[in-house]
């Protein structure tokens, strides 16, 4: 470009380059925006995919009050909360409702040693390391993040599961402590006042039990 700024100084080539640069910038931004939206867990709030077997949490956890950890046992011992194997289903369904067409499908798969491929509802990206065990040990209820699954016929993603949503809890130092009072009440209701309360023990613990929000707490 010439110093005097005359319009004749701008060649066709320059215009081409400027337009290409614009495409690069705009294209890049749109692409990134598309990915951010398309892959963000927030986009999937209320996502309720159809499952190969219409297993109803409302029936099992709501009506029959099967505890969450009966099936999702590993949540208590590991970072992962795994989906139970078919053998867990068969604990009851060798006897219960064996004539249902869905149960027949499960029995068939079980006998053929063929796993059922459930559709994943809650998906965290690979670069996030969330630990179920720590949250359960701290007394966080399943429903805090997963909603009232016992009322869901088909499970959907209840919380946005975004980083901001995680961090909001962890920044609020009193969050866990505050809820523990509430959970302790619940615990007493369930167990009866005479029983020693786990939550009371945790309440008296001096450690805030709230992991800090350093990046490497979850990202590594």
* Residue 178: both structure tokens together: 């505050």
* Candidate list 45, 56, 107, 131; residue touching another protein; CB under 8 A: 131
| Closer Cβ to another protein, 35 or 186, answer by number | 35
Which one of 123-131, 140-148, 166-174, 188-196 is the stretch in contact with another protein (CB under 8 A)? 123-131
Tokens of 40: 């963000």
Please report whether residue 102 would count as binding another protein according to CB under 8 A.
no
Type and span of the H or E element at 180: helix 175-191
**Minimal distance, residue 93 CB to another protein, in Å:** 14
Contact partners, residue 125, CB within 8 Å, separation at least 6: 39, 41
How far apart CA 135 and CA 142 sit, in angstroms, is 9
| 24 sits near another protein (criterion: CB under 8 A) | yes
> Contact letters (x/-) for another protein, 201-220, by CB under 8 A?
-----------x-xxxx-xx
* Cβ neighbours, 10 Å, residue 75: 19
Q: Which of 10, 79, 143, 167 binds another protein (CB under 8 A)?
A: 79
Name the residue among 73, 74, 84, 85 with its Cα closest to residue 110. Answer: 85
Out of 86, 149, 152, 198, the residue judged to bind another protein by CB under 8 A: 86
If binding is defined by CB under 8 A, does position 96 make contact with another protein?
no
Q: Is 70 a residue that touches another protein (CB under 8 A)?
A: no
82 vs 75: CA distance, rounded Å: 7
Of 74, 107, 144, 197, which lies in the binding site for another protein, with binding defined by CB under 8 A? 74
Q: Does 181 bind another protein (CB under 8 A)?
A: no
Q: Determine, following the binding rule CB under 8 A, whether residue 82 of this chain makes contact with another protein.
A: yes
Q: Is 80 in the site for another protein (CB under 8 A)?
A: yes
Is position 129 an interface residue for another protein (rule: CB under 8 A)? yes
Write the DSSP assignment of 64-91 as a string of letters. S---HHHHSGGGGTSS--PPPPHHHHHH
Binding residue (CB under 8 A) for another protein from 53, 119, 143, 181: 119
Task: Report d(CA 121, CA 41) in Å as an integer.
Answer: 10
Phi, psi of 81 (to 5 degrees): -110, 100
Q: Applying CB under 8 A, does 118 fall inside the site for another protein? A: yes
């Amino acid at each position: 470009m010439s110093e005097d700024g005359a319009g004749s100084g701008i060649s066709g080539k320059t215009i081409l380059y400027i337009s290409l640069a614009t495409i690069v910038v705009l294209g890049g931004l749109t692409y990134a925006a598309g990915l951010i939206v398309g892959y963000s867990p927030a986009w999937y709030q209320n996502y309720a995919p159809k499952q190969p077997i219409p297993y109803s949490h409302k029936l099992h956890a709501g009506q029959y009050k099967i505890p969450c950890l009966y099936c999702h046992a590993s949540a208590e011992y590991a970072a992962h909360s795994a989906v139970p194997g078919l053998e867990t289903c068969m604990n009851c369904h060798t006897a219960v409702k064996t004539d249902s067409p869905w149960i027949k499908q499960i029995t068939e798969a079980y006998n053929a040693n063929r796993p059922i491929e459930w559709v994943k509802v809650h998906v965290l990206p690979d670069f996030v390391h969330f630990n179920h065990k720590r949250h359960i040990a701290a007394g966080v209820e399943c429903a805090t993040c997963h909603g009232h699954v016992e009322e869901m016929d088909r499970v959907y993603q209840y919380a946005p599961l975004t980083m901001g949503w995680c961090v909001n809890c962890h920044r609020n130092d009193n969050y866990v402590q505050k809820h523990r009072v509430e959970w302790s009440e619940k615990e007493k209701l369930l167990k009866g006042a005479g029983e020693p309360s786990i939550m009371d023990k945790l309440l008296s613990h001096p450690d805030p039990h709230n992991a800090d929000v350093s990046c490497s707490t979850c990202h590594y």
